[in-house]
Each structure stands twice: as C-alpha cells, then as structure tokens.
Structure 1
C-alpha cells in the first residue's frame, strides 16, 4: 500500500505535464489573438479597397 501512496505522491509532484499544458494554452491564446487582429485588419482593408475601386474610372473612356 505504501508503494501506491509513493507513486501517487510522485505523480502529484511531477510538473512536466503541466508545462506542456501551459505551452498549449499559451499557443492557443496567441493564435486567437492573431486571428482577431488579422480579422479586423482584413475587414478594414476590404472596406478601403472597395472605396478605392469604387471611385476608380472603369476604363471605357480614353483621355
């Protein structure tokens, strides 16, 4: 029985798995942040391009 308690105690003290979880959570937050930034940037860029292209001459007239 004491071997089982020692193994459980050693498992509870082992923090190697926790480090992996921390890295995965950090990477997930980084990806979510970048997706939010690029999503906002993309919609602003699309609006600007629509404005520029909407105001551009259609090319059917010659100067």
Structure 2
C-alpha cells in the first residue's frame, strides 16, 4: 500500500508532462486564432466578390 501511495505522489510531483499540456494549450490558441482569421477573411472576400458580381451583371 505504501508503494502505491509513493508512486502516486511521485507521479503528481513529476512536471515532465507539463510541457505537453503547454504545447496543447498553445496549439489550441493558434487554431482558434487561425479559424477567427480565416472566418473574417472569408467574410471580407465574400463581400468583395458579391460587389464585383453586382458590377458585372
């Protein structure tokens, strides 16, 4: 029983996995920013293409 408690305490004190969590958080933020940027860009391009389509017709 003592060995199990010791292993759990060692696992909780180990910070090696923390860097993986930081990479996941950073990657998630990058993805959110890219989605927001492409959404804004898509709306702008759609508006410009609609404007040009109206001028051509």
- Larger C-alpha radius of gyration, 1 or 2? 1
Fold equivalence (TM over 0.5): yes
> What is the aligned partner in structure 1 of residue 45 from structure 2?
45
Q: Measure, in 1, the Cα distance between the counterparts of 2:49 and 2:4.
A: 67
Q: Measure, in 1, the Cα distance between the counterparts of 2:5 and 2:53.
A: 72
Q: Measure, in 1, the Cα distance between the counterparts of 2:32 and 2:8.
A: 36
Query: Per-residue deviation at 1:11?
Result: 1.5
SS of the residue aligned with 2:17? helix
Q: Measure, in 2, the Cα distance between the counterparts of 1:4 and 1:12.
A: 12
Query: Per-residue deviation at 1:4?
Result: 4.0
- TM-score normalised over the length of structure 1: 0.74
> What is the aligned partner in structure 1 of residue 34 from structure 2?
34
Query: Per-residue deviation at 1:5?
Result: 4.5
Stretches of structure 1 lacking an aligned partner (at least 5 in a row):
59-63
User: Cα RMSD over matched residues?
Assistant: 1.5
Moved over 3 A (4+): 3-6
